[in-house]
Amino acid sequence: MKSGNGKQRRAQTKKTANKKSKTPKPSPNPKGRDGDDEAPRTERRQKLHLMIRSGMYPNKRSAARDLEVDQSTIRKDLRHLERVGMPLAFDKVRNGFYYTHEVPEFPTLQLTAKEYGALTATAQLAAQQLPGTELKRGLKSIHRKMQRGLDAGLRMKPSEIRKYLSIHYTAESLIDQVMMDTLYRVIIQHKQIRLWYRKPSDKEFKLRLFDPLHLFNMNGEWFLAAYDYNSKEIRRFAPIRMRDIEETGKVFDRPDFDIDKYLDKSFGMHSAEGIYDIVLRTNASAADFIREKKWRGETKKVELPCGGIELHLTLSSLAEIERFAISYKGNTVVLAPREFQERALAAGQNFVCEQMKVMGGIAGNA
């Protein structure tokens, strides 16, 4: 009886031992510690950087042991440290890595492929509007630094982005590179400026005093929003019509200026004339052009049974919307306000008269 019980106990012990042997051992390199996940990879590289900077002289084997990853992962981390500018070297006597001179803190910015692609595309599109300026050179420098800090699989050149994404205009405003750089600098530094400016309708330049607030691009044209000491209000000015800019030596207190609120009821770049509730009706031929955009100052769109559309806007000026309406003559009519109807009609008649004169002159010369 005792012998039988002993056999059963031995069999049970063997069975339990077999179960234990089949239990998988914890992986020395769990998911997230091998560089596949952003946060553990950044943390691991930071630790490796500190080990090297503190004079521990780690090599691939010792670093892999201490950081609980394999040596191939450490090899990738070391290559990354070199890419971001760390002066890495190997000491054969101490059998470990060290920095040849004092280094800054480890760069901790880590980007995903999508984030990097978005930043590269944004820089590329902005650079299209800033040819030859310090701003463009600054964007390119930032991009190069980001490139060095990324794994090879995430890198993308601006030229590659242009294969898939770009912005084009029928016409783009000319820019003075030095003027644009100067305006950007004085805006950032809150410095008052004095310059000569010419309005579109004027032939002569006049001296103006500005507190520059914001540089912006609308529909391919650059503008400066600035407090104008002549008019005692914030207005917008075209840098291309500026010259002889200089600082006055005064630093101004920047007001709480919001460019979106400032442009909220502005269809284009004309100064405010009042508040106008505008209604335009287009036929089916032009309806998609209206339907597919969110217009500044738009309050609503009304679909019409004929396939056309009514666009309702609230704007502070009629000048730009007048030009827009005339450009779609034959497809667009003005329903309100009355003043806008009269201006559009007069502009259309002037266009027809001038065109008839030109055609008559051509016919007379034939």
Domain-located, residue 4: no
Domain-located, residue 105: no
Q: Give me the CATH number covering residue 235.
A: 2.30.30
**pLDDT (0 to 100) of residue 305:** 92
Q: Dump pLDDT digits (tens) for 279-289.
A: 989 888 888 88
Domain-located, residue 108: no
How many C-beta atoms surround the C-beta of residue 237 within 10 A?
22
Tokens of 30: 């769990």
Q: Dump pLDDT digits (tens) for 38-57.
A: 558 878 888 999 999 999 99
Domain-located, residue 301: yes
91 & 126 share domain = no
153 & 85 share domain = no
**pLDDT (0 to 100) of residue 269:** 46
Whole domain around residue 134: which residue ranges? 113-161
Domain-located, residue 49: yes
Q: Helix 38-53 crosses helix 60-67 at what angle (to 10 degrees)? A: 130
More confident residue, 191 or 117: 191
Least confident stretch, 9-18, 231-240, 254-263 = 9-18
Domain end (from 202, 219, 254): 254
pLDDT band at residue 36 under the 50/70/90 scheme: very low
With CA atoms as reference, report the closest residue to 237 among 265, 275, 195: 195
With CA atoms as reference, report the closest residue to 150 among 105, 104, 119: 119
What are the Cα distances from residue 9, in Å, to 16, 19, 21? 11, 15, 18
Q: Look at residue 36 and give its three-state secondary structure.
A: coil
Q: pTM score, two decimals?
A: 0.52
Domain end (from 74, 99, 124): 99
Q: Does position 135 have pLDDT exceeding 90, yes or no? A: no
Domain-located, residue 82: yes
Q: Using alpha carbons only, what angle is made at residue 291 by residues 289 and 295, rounded to the nearest 5 degrees? A: 85
d(CA 35, CA 83): 16
Q: Dump pLDDT digits (tens) for 312-321.
A: 988 877 766 7
Using only the alpha carbons of the chain, give its radius of gyration: 34
| Alpha helix positions (H), the chain | 2-22, 38-53, 60-67, 71-83, 113-128, 134-148, 158-161, 177-189, 259-263, 284-291, 319-327, 338-365
> 193, 146 in Cβ contact below 8 A?
no
DSSP 208-273: EEEEEEEEEEETTEEEEEEEETTTTEEEEE-GGGEEEEEEEEEEPPPP---HHHHHTT-SSSPPP-
What are the Cα distances from residue 144, in Å, to 68, 77, 123, 310, 314? 32, 19, 11, 48, 45
Q: Give me the CATH number covering residue 56.
A: 1.10.10.10
DSSP 277-309: EEEEEE-HHHHHHHHTS--TTEEEEEE-TTS-E
Domain-located, residue 140: yes
Residue entry with tokens 């390199």: 29
Q: Give me the CATH number covering residue 323.
A: 3.30.70
188 & 155 share domain = no
Q: What's the rounded mean pLDDT across residues 317-345?
A: 77
153 & 207 share domain = no
How many structural domains are present in the chain? 4
Q: What percent of the chain has pLDDT over 70?
A: 62
**pLDDT (0 to 100) of residue 321:** 74
